[in-house]
Structure 1
Amino acid sequence: MTEYDITSLSTSGYCERMEKQGARKGRPPKAEPEALRAQLLDLIALVGYENASMGSLAESVGMSVRTLHRYFPTKADIVWGGIDVSIDALTAELNAAAGSSPIIDAVAHAITNVFARNAEDLKTMRARLRLIALSPELRTNRSSTFEGWRHAVVHFVATRRGEPARALIPVTAGAAIHMAIMEALTWWGLQEEPLDPADCITRALHGLSNINDR
Structure 2
Amino acid sequence: MKRTGVRARMREAIRAELVAATIRSIDEVGFAATTGGAVAAAVGVSERTFFRYFATKEDAVLQPIEDLGPSIAAELRRRPAEESPLRALRAAFDVAVGWVTAEPRTMATVMRLNRSEPALRGRHLKQQDAWVGMLAEAMAERLGQPRDSPDIRMLCAVMMLCWERSLVRCFDRDDFSASGEELNAGIDELRAFFTAA
TM-score (normalised: structure 1): 0.67
Q: Which residue of 77, 89, 94 corresponds with 1:112?
A: 94
Identity %: 22
Query: Structure 1's 83 and 212: CA in aligned 2 closer, same or farther, altered over 3 A?
Result: closer
Query: Structure 1's 55 and 39: CA in aligned 2 closer, same or farther, altered over 3 A?
Result: closer
- Which residue is equivalent to 1:206? 188
- CA–CA distance in structure 2, aligned partners of residues 193 and 145 of structure 1: 23
Q: Give the total of aligned pairs.
A: 185
Residues 60-100 of structure 1: per-residue CA shift (max 9 Å, x gap):
55554333222321011111113455234212321232334
Which structure 2 segments of 5+ residues have no match? 1-12
- Which residue is equivalent to 2:53? 71
Which structure 1 segments of 5+ residues have no match? 1-30
Cα displacement (A) at 1:139 = 0.8
Secondary structure of residue in 2 paired with 1:50 = coil
- The answer to whether the 8 Å contact 2:77/2:142 transfers is no
TM-score (normalised: structure 2): 0.72
Residues 150-199 of structure 1: per-residue CA shift (max 9 Å, x gap):
12322344345553222221222322222322342244234313532222
Q: Which amino acid aligns with 1:210?
A: A
Cα displacement (A) at 1:48 = 2.8
- Which residue is equivalent to 1:171? 153
Secondary structure of residue in 2 paired with 1:52 = coil
* Structure with greater helix percent: 2
Cα displacement (A) at 1:38 = 1.0
- The answer to whether the 8 Å contact 2:132/2:157 transfers is yes
Rg (Cα) greater in structure = 1
Residues 11-36 of structure 1: per-residue CA shift (max 9 Å, x gap):
xxxxxxxxxxxxxxxxxxxx722122
- CA–CA distance in structure 2, aligned partners of residues 68 and 178 of structure 1: 31
Query: Structure 1's 163 and 100: CA in aligned 2 closer, same or farther, altered over 3 A?
Result: same
Secondary structure of residue in 2 paired with 1:99 = coil
- CA–CA distance in structure 2, aligned partners of residues 113 and 151 of structure 1: 17
Q: Which amino acid aligns with 1:179?
A: L
- Which residue is equivalent to 2:134? 152
Equivalences for residues 17-32 of structure 1 within 5 A = 32=14
- Which residue is equivalent to 1:180? 162
Query: Structure 1's 101 and 211: CA in aligned 2 closer, same or farther, altered over 3 A?
Result: farther
Query: Does 2:45 correspond to 1:45?
Result: no
Equivalences for residues 64-143 of structure 1 within 5 A = 64-83=46-65, 85-116=67-98, 120-142=102-124
CA RMSD of aligned residues (A): 3.3
- More moved, 79-88 vs 55-64: 55-64
- CA–CA distance in structure 1, aligned partners of residues 190 and 137 of structure 2: 19
